[in-house]
Structure 1
Amino acid sequence: MLPTMKRLFNSLHALTGRPRVRPLWDRYAAGNQRLAKSIARRSAAERLKDQREQAPEASRLLRSLAPLIIQGANGLEIQEHLLNAYLERGWRPMLVGYHGYPAAVPVSVNYGVGGVIPTDKPIPESALVKVELIAGTPVSHLAQTWTFAGRNATPLQLFMLDKARLALRKGIEPVRHGARIDTIGDAISKVLDENDLFPIRELCGYTMGAQRVEAPQILGYGLRGIPSRGTCMEAGQVLNIQVLAQRAQVRTRVRGEEGFQYYTGDRGDAVVLSVMVEVTETGHRLLTEFVD
């Protein structure tokens, strides 16, 4: 194990106060690498067929977390819930070991944007809780992030979540064969601008194929004054479209030397939503679903 990973596991132990019994890295990292190579050898048609069948289940698993979050479950409990669900379905938690990441399910609360390592710290009642489901079936990659409102989420938090949902719906509308990928970010930006929300520019969506994350990137914002240009979408592509929004135009900061955990620069709330979308000749097909 690399020295930085040893330090990270030690810090995780300090954060959770629990003994490090068979870390997730030891249980999953090597097997995840083997599965990733196996998925890459599959044909595009095999992967897409599997994603059409399996992706809706990813959304259902995220939906099953809502009662836990309302009840105040902590990040480790959320992670354990999804790990058990993966096991039942023959999926693997593909984030473990990905570029050195040590956890299976990032759980980012309030000003956490993404990649935050889950702990046993209770989730506050006034919270926006972002859960990242990143899994591998024997045939394909699945990925969806959703933000859940805590039991006593504030009106402003609920407003942000509602407008992020709208931005995601609008971002999906331009998806079709031959359309430029930039039009997705343009549509998302329009909703955010109209509601005094700002995109988080340091992170973005992506295309999913032989690898979970492939080019071209899918920006969650438009480039002001620059008409849509560049890469066009192609039928059969799977896009992971993401809306990442905050209340102020500030840079996202990274915590920790490993560079995994992202937070808003002003400690203001963030919302992240994503869906997997298949590009078709005449439009698009949602693979994952809106969780709420």
Structure 2
Amino acid sequence: MIRLKSASDIEHLHVSGAKLGDVLRQIGEMVSPGVTTRELDRVAELRIRELGAKPAFLHYSGYPATLCVSINEQVIHGIPGHRVLNSGDVVSLDLGLIYEGYYADSAITVACGPVASRDQELIETTRRSLYAGIDAVHVGARLGDIGHAVQQVVEAQGMSVVRDYVGHGVGKELHEDPEVPNYGRAGTGLTLKEGLVIAIEPMVNAGSSAVRVLNDDWTVVTVDGQKSAHFEHTIAVTAQGPVILTRP
């Protein structure tokens, strides 16, 4: 069931989103050679709690951490631990929080030190595809318009959109209806209405779109071993156009 949000709901979601955007920016700035993924996770949880919020991912369906840290061929849901970041790594950070009962969800990908030109292109293409999807959002648009916009940006660079995982609605639950694919045909799918709040989150692979889950039952990796990137914002559909709720 799709739950449209009131103006008051969106104000609350905007507060949650701004807090999340600030924390995620800080974690992104910590990414550097020698830092462990567990250290990133520890600081993410500390900062969220200092803001009077709660981690959204910790213990969600059994997930054991606050932050998802996915490196290189890891696409999403990488579990923080003892792994040390190295120069040249492509590091995706996915984070969520709950503030006064309202969820926010966002992700960024950052380069750890200098990276190869193709890796930088992967990061920038994924970022551009997110904003192309956001630009397609308006009252009366269709879900297929979002996915089509993302897909066009990605495939123009010879890269692939992950199809096994998609965006989603956000509100008083972390994952609500509808699903928001990062591929599709323009003019098809659900019609966007004022008050809809969704997470648009392109996951883009440098090579094939095929992915698999590791034995930890969480970490998703590319089948061909090529690198992946991930960006996400929580977006409100308003009469004035899309509002990015998770901007720092």
Q: TM-score normalised to the size of structure 2?
A: 0.93
How much has 1:45 moved relative to structure 2?
A: 4.7
Q: 1:253 aligns with which of 212, 223, 228?
A: 212
> 1:162 corresponds to which residue?
124
**Aligned partner letter, 1:121:** R
Residue 112 (structure 1) aligned with residue 74 (structure 2): yes
**Paired residues of 1:83 and 1:93 also in contact (CA < 8 A):** yes
**Paired residues of 1:126 and 1:153 also in contact (CA < 8 A):** yes
> 2:179 corresponds to which residue?
217
Residue 69 (structure 1) aligned with residue 31 (structure 2): yes
Q: 2:238 aligns with which of 277, 280, 286?
A: 280
Question: After superposition, what is the alpha-carbon deviation per residue over 1:253-292, rounded to whole angstroms, capped at 9, x for unaligned?
Answer: 00126x3211111111000000111101231111112x7x
- In the alignment, the residues of structure 2 paired with residue 53 and residue 159 of structure 1 have an alpha-carbon distance, to the nearest angstrom, of 32
Residue 239 (structure 1) aligned with residue 198 (structure 2): yes
- In the alignment, the residues of structure 2 paired with residue 284 and residue 67 of structure 1 have an alpha-carbon distance, to the nearest angstrom, of 27
**Aligned partner letter, 1:164:** T
How much has 1:211 moved relative to structure 2?
A: 1.7
> 2:160 corresponds to which residue?
198
Question: CA RMSD, aligned part only?
Answer: 1.6
How much has 1:65 moved relative to structure 2?
A: 2.1
Q: Which has the higher helix share?
A: 1
The percent identity for this pair of structures is 23
How much has 1:230 moved relative to structure 2?
A: 2.3
More displaced stretch, 66-75 vs 189-198: 66-75
How much has 1:209 moved relative to structure 2?
A: 2.4
- In the alignment, the residues of structure 2 paired with residue 281 and residue 159 of structure 1 have an alpha-carbon distance, to the nearest angstrom, of 34
Q: TM-score normalised to the size of structure 1?
A: 0.79
Residue 271 (structure 1) aligned with residue 229 (structure 2): yes
How much has 1:245 moved relative to structure 2?
A: 0.5
Larger-Rg structure: 1
Displaced runs of 4 or more, over 4 A: 43-46
> 1:153 corresponds to which residue?
115
Instruction: Report SS of the residue matched to 2:246.
Output: coil
- In the alignment, the residues of structure 2 paired with residue 182 and residue 204 of structure 1 have an alpha-carbon distance, to the nearest angstrom, of 13
Q: Which has the higher contact order (CA 8 A, sep 6+)?
A: 2
> 1:57 corresponds to which residue?
19
Residue 134 (structure 1) aligned with residue 96 (structure 2): yes
**Paired residues of 2:13 and 2:171 also in contact (CA < 8 A):** no
**Aligned partner letter, 1:50:** H
- In the alignment, the residues of structure 2 paired with residue 228 and residue 202 of structure 1 have an alpha-carbon distance, to the nearest angstrom, of 22
- In the alignment, the residues of structure 1 paired with residue 139 and residue 198 of structure 2 have an alpha-carbon distance, to the nearest angstrom, of 12
Instruction: Report SS of the residue matched to 1:58.
Output: helix
State the number of aligned residues: 244
More displaced stretch, 139-148 vs 49-58: 49-58
- In the alignment, the residues of structure 2 paired with residue 260 and residue 61 of structure 1 have an alpha-carbon distance, to the nearest angstrom, of 23
- In the alignment, the residues of structure 2 paired with residue 177 and residue 207 of structure 1 have an alpha-carbon distance, to the nearest angstrom, of 16
How much has 1:190 moved relative to structure 2?
A: 0.7
**Aligned partner letter, 2:120:** L
Instruction: Report SS of the residue matched to 2:232.
Output: strand
Structure 1 spans left out of the alignment, 5+ residues: 1-42
How much has 1:248 moved relative to structure 2?
A: 1.6
Structure 2 spans left out of the alignment, 5+ residues: none
How much has 1:44 moved relative to structure 2?
A: 4.8
**Aligned partner letter, 1:244:** M
- In the alignment, the residues of structure 2 paired with residue 54 and residue 93 of structure 1 have an alpha-carbon distance, to the nearest angstrom, of 11
